[in-house]
Amino acid sequence: MTEASSRAAPQSPADLFWAFNRLALQGFGGVLPVAQRELVERLGWLTRQDFLELLSLSQVLPGPNVVNLGLIMGDRAFGLRGALAAVAGMLLGPLILVLVLAVAAVQWRDLPAVGGALRGMGIVAGALVLSTAIKLAQGLKGNAMGLPLAALFVVVAALAMGWLRWPLVYVVLGLGMLGMAVAWWRLGE
């Protein structure tokens, strides 16, 4: 009883639906920063530590990170119903919005200004991904395989995928397995 009263928690799947709906609609250029602010600071459903652990688990598993985070959080609270509520809340509103934009863009993309704007935004979209990669790369300093080997894996993966254009399945299975083997070996030393 003290446990229940000392920390806020969603009371029903509907709570999860609306919380994730609200945070998703605020997230321009990515939802994770907003998710942290809403779930930890405003609602207090998770501690900072909870959030970090949940996030790293969501990042390691394949699939969209923030969707995985909602699924796991919802599943822990209310089982499958909770997982569905969180993900539906997160995706439904933004999906409708983005499709309206897509329909409009198809109508008008032959206008030079619209085509140009989309091209300019495409360049920025690429640069945004690069900036995330640079931020994440700083976390490699503490990687179990050691920085030089980790950097080598970064370069090989980037070249195999971006330049040689190998299919992702070979890159992930090949380099992923090799990376795990190296990390396993270094962790045992």
- Candidates 16, 19, 55, 83; binder of another protein (CB under 8 A) is 83
- Candidates 45, 65, 77, 78; binder of another protein (CB under 8 A) is 65
Size of site (CB under 8 A) for another protein:
103
Helix locations, 109-167, DSSP H: 112-137, 147-162
Angle at 171 between CA 149 and CA 145, to 5 degrees: 20
- Candidates 3, 60, 110, 189; binder of another protein (CB under 8 A) is 60
Tell me which residues in 107-166 interact with another protein (CB under 8 A).
Answer: 109, 112-137, 139-140, 143-145, 150-151, 153-158, 160-163, 165
Toward another protein, which CB reaches closer, 11 or 107? 107
Residue 69 zone, left/alpha/beta (φ > 0; ψ -120 to 50; rest): alpha
Tell me which residues in 20-59 interact with another protein (CB under 8 A).
Answer: 24-31, 53, 56-59
Return the range that interacts with another protein (CB under 8 A); candidates 9-17, 42-50, 86-94.
86-94
Distance of alpha carbon 173 from alpha carbon 160, whole angstroms = 13
Least gap, CB of 115 to another protein (angstroms): 8
The reply to whether 169 sits near another protein by the rule CB under 8 A is yes
Toward another protein, which CB reaches closer, 9 or 133? 133
Are the C-beta atoms of 39 and 109 separated by less than 8 Å? no
Long-range contact set of residues 128-134: C-beta below 8 Å, sequence gap at least 24 = 128/29
End-to-end, the C-alpha distance of the chain in Å comes to: 45
